[in-house]
Amino acid sequence: MGKRKRSVYVIGNWKMNQGLEDIALFFKTFENQRLKKSKEGGAEVWVAPQSIHLGVCAPLARKAGVFLGAQNCSAHLQGAYTGEISSRALAEMGVVFTLVGHSERRTLFGEDQSVLRHKTETALKQGLFVVFCLGETLQQKNNQETFSVLEEQVISSLQGVAPLISSPRQLILAYEPVWAIGTGQTATPEEANEAQGFLRKILEKVGLKGESHSILYGGSVKSSHIEELMSKPHIDGVLVGGASLDPVEFFRLVECAETLSG
Ligand code: PGA
């Protein structure tokens, strides 16, 4: 098999952080760093703020060359779902992508595989790109269940979505071992690469082209080890929580990714 042609992504998940001042500072710093250091390079830079801030972020993100996304979306198209945000409303606000299946949504908000499938389908139908997050817990890892858990997560939530996808860019996977999220512990590049190579095979089982979809690694990513991670063939980029809150550190991640993309 020849070398896979890949796009490279750095995606920031701000979670329930960043106030208006932080947002203004983030985009200003990011834009200045970009102007100082480089031409806009080969990495796709995406950020997911809190949904209420999407409208404020839209012009700033556009100017900084960053795509905006949501951290969550409703599984339903529209209707009497008080407090929910529809994919259609997100798309109308200029949002490009949504995260689906983040472990915090699965565990803290009880989102099960079927809810995640509906969210994925609804978002794709409304023209949003989906960054589908999945990964094993520490207990599952210790029980050597990582591969079976990943397979289950893909099959139960992504079975049947293939007809909704015309370009692989519409569905990106983010392998995020639950034990690595916000803990300062990362999977080794070899572990992550092996899991992500396995995910490509499982995508084929649900009728998707495993080699064509981008697969990112997430879980305590920092600029000190992004290079090691992304030098692995199955790691096409990173989904970053904590380190995405600091614009200088986030820019370092983007710079490293850009070096590796070219
Ligand atoms: P972290 O979060 O980088 O803070 O570990 C990653 C994520 O939750 O997507």
Q: What is the pLDDT of residues 53-110, one digit of tens each?
A: 999 999 999 999 999 999 999 999 999 999 999 999 999 999 999 999 999 999 999 9
Name all residues whose Cβ lies below 6 A of ligand 1.
13, 176, 181-182, 218-221, 239-243
Terminal Cα-to-Cα distance of the chain (whole angstroms)? 21
Mean pLDDT over each residue of the chain, to the nearest integer: 94
Report if pTM > 0.75. Answer: yes
pLDDT at 2 over 60: no
What's the gap in Å between 193 CA and the centre of ligand 1?
18
Cα distance between residue 262 and residue 260, in whole Å = 6
C-alpha 220/C-alpha 244 separation (Å) is: 10
What share of the chain has pLDDT > 70, as a percent? 97
pLDDT digits (tens, 9 = 90+) for 166-201: 999 999 999 999 999 999 999 999 999 999 999 999
* DSSP result, 138-155: HHHHHTT-HHHHHHHHHH
In whole angstroms, how far apart are CA 208 and each of 93, 115, 147, 204, 252? 29, 20, 18, 5, 33
pLDDT at 240: 98
Residue 102 annotated among the catalytic residues of the structure: yes
| Dihedral sign computed on CA atoms, order 149, 182, 109, 58 | negative
> Strand pairing partners for 174?
133, 216
Torsion of CA 46, 48, 49, 50, to 10 degrees: 160
User: Where residue 40 falls among pLDDT bands split at 50, 70, 90?
Assistant: low
pLDDT of residue 1: 47
DSSP 63-81: HHT-EEEES---SSSSSS-
Pocket test for ligand 1, best of 106, 221, 226 (most atoms within 8 A of CB): 221
The stretch 194-214 carries a mean pLDDT of 97
39-69 in b/e form (b: 16+ CB < 10 A) is eebebbbbbbbbbebbeebeebbeebebbbb
Using the predicted structure, report yes or no on whether residue 262 has a pLDDT greater than 60.
no
* Nearest CA, atom 2, ligand 1: 241
- For 137-162, the pLDDT digits (tens) are 999 999 999 999 999 999 999 999 99
